[in-house]
Structure 1
Amino acid sequence: MLLAIDVGNTNVVFALVEYGEGGHKIRTRWRIATDPRRTADEYAVWLVQLMAIEGIDRSAVNAVMIGSVVPRADHNLTVLAQKYFGVEPMFAGQGKAAWQFEIDVEQPSSLGADRALNCIAAHELIGGDLIVVDFGTATKFEAVDFNGAYKGGIIAPGINLSLDALVGKTAKLPRIAIAAPPTDSVIGRNTESQMLIGVYWGYVAMMEGLIARMKEEIGRPVKVLATGGLAVLFDEHTQVFDMVEPELTLHGLAILARQARAR
């Protein structure tokens, strides 16, 4: 069984992945806030107890794959794998888990692990020319060609970052929770609804506009895949997504681990 660890700027997701003749299956997953100060022992107390609730002994884990965009967290997660699971972890994009697809941009080494993993998973799950949209702390748009090569992308502030900036830089605007507005009207009748309309529908317009321009620039039929915790929220009010897969990065870790062990 693989322990896949997706280290993002906001959360760390731990998932247990099983492999079979038909591919892999994410058996279960857990989420914890990202904190580089968290020790291996603290991770272990939390994780091993959650595994026990699911009836899974830690001895069932025979491989660990980590995809990280927070370098300060890497050491303690390495110790977690070594001390509590008895395995040397693989890091996505490094060593035997190095990327095996073309990264056709000016600075290939600057591509984040989460973005690369999304490209790997999207190419295997769907194939063809693709645009991958990941709604995270930042929202990333990736262009992947039919050979699986990464051709470039876009980085935009995530919707929560946009809301934080709006509230943080104004004296009287209240903090609101991100949600789909209750109606399609874009004329709000109170401060809260006006803020929600501006942030939500403004974000939908930005997303749809950028995807349209990417499609025009690619010049071939393109499928659009959305991932990230907020993907489902936007899928309710746009027709631009061909598929929504919230766990795309975890699938990328599972695919990369399978490839690395076959080398």
Structure 2
Amino acid sequence: MLRLMEAEIKKLHASKMWWLLAAGAVLPALITSLSFLEDRDISWLIFMHVALLIFNVQSLLIFSSFAAFLRAREYEENMLEVILCYPYPKRNFLFSKLVIMLLAIGITVILFGMCTLLSGSILLKASLPPALFRHFIKILLLVSLMHFLLSPAAFFLAGLTHMAVSGVIYGIAGMCLCMMLYSTDFIQFIPMCIPFVLTDHILGMDVMKILPDYGVHWSILAVWPVLFLFADAKKQEDIYSRSQ
């Protein structure tokens, strides 16, 4: 597994996908700062509220594109047949990509948190309350988990279509759903929109009305990756059987 992860990192190092994650980490804080550049009466809570909304919507595109690139690269470069000949359990190839995806999401969220705190300190010129800081860290951990649970869908679509662009379309669809259904109650039951809605509610903002029990939302997020991982495993089994 470690050798597979090392191979994935080397492949990514030769690509320009890391810049996509860097942009995903920096842009939300930058956009939020520019939005409130003339408004110095805002609070830390409002600043975090807007930054998290932008990050969660934008990340649907960033992370799904990254996941699809990880998965579709072997198809687009005609390397899949060679990879299947390696003496590794076939599921390990997918698991190694999922681990890399988790690391990429974690690093991006950490950088986003740092950029948000830095830009907020410069703009607001006020100290961050310790209680809000601890709450923000908790939310960042939940954000990482939620976006990771959404990533298997992008993996599956890339494996199904053999094209990384499928992840881009998946991400754009999620962004459009968040924007179009922002004021509806139904949005909280759409898996791709749950980080957008749930994070804001956990922060303490009551902009979007959702169920007080988060169990429904977490259940949806838990079932979502299982469905796509199962479908992906069946598809890979069929590919491997045909290659024999």
After TM superposition, the score normalised by the length of structure 1 is: 0.26
Greater RCO structure (CA 8 Å; 6+ sep): 2
| Greater fraction helix | 2
After TM superposition, the score normalised by the length of structure 2 is: 0.28
| Greater fraction strand | 1
